Amino acid sequence: MVSDAMQKTRVVRIERVYRHPRYERVIRMSKKLKAHDEANESRTGDRVLIEETRPLSKEKRWRIRKILSRVS
């Protein structure tokens, strides 16, 4: 998770690592999504599981399902 500055909303970064088909170089790509966190439980640095849901606001289409690991 990247940010917990908003109330009930978290910014989650999804990172994808793959090899380029022609050049065989390892490429890291990431995207940021806004996810709903009803109880404000998660914090910056936590690893979370998200699921797609109906549109909750203009940019929120994801919901935090559970916290996989917490940052200490």
The pLDDT tens digits of the residues spanning 34-59 come to 999 999 999 999 999 999 999 999 99
Residue with tokens 């989650």: 12
In a domain, 20, yes or no: yes
- Which residues span the domain enclosing 32? 9-69
Q: What is the Cα 33 distance to its own chain's centre?
A: 6
Instruction: Quote the number of domains for the chain.
Output: 1
2-31: pLDDT as tens digits = 999 999 999 999 999 999 999 999 999 999
Give dist(CA 32, CA 34) in Å, integer: 7
In a domain, 54, yes or no: yes
Q: What are phi and psi of 18, to 5 degrees?
A: -150, 165
Question: What is the per-residue pLDDT for 69?
Answer: 96
Whole-model pTM: value is 0.85
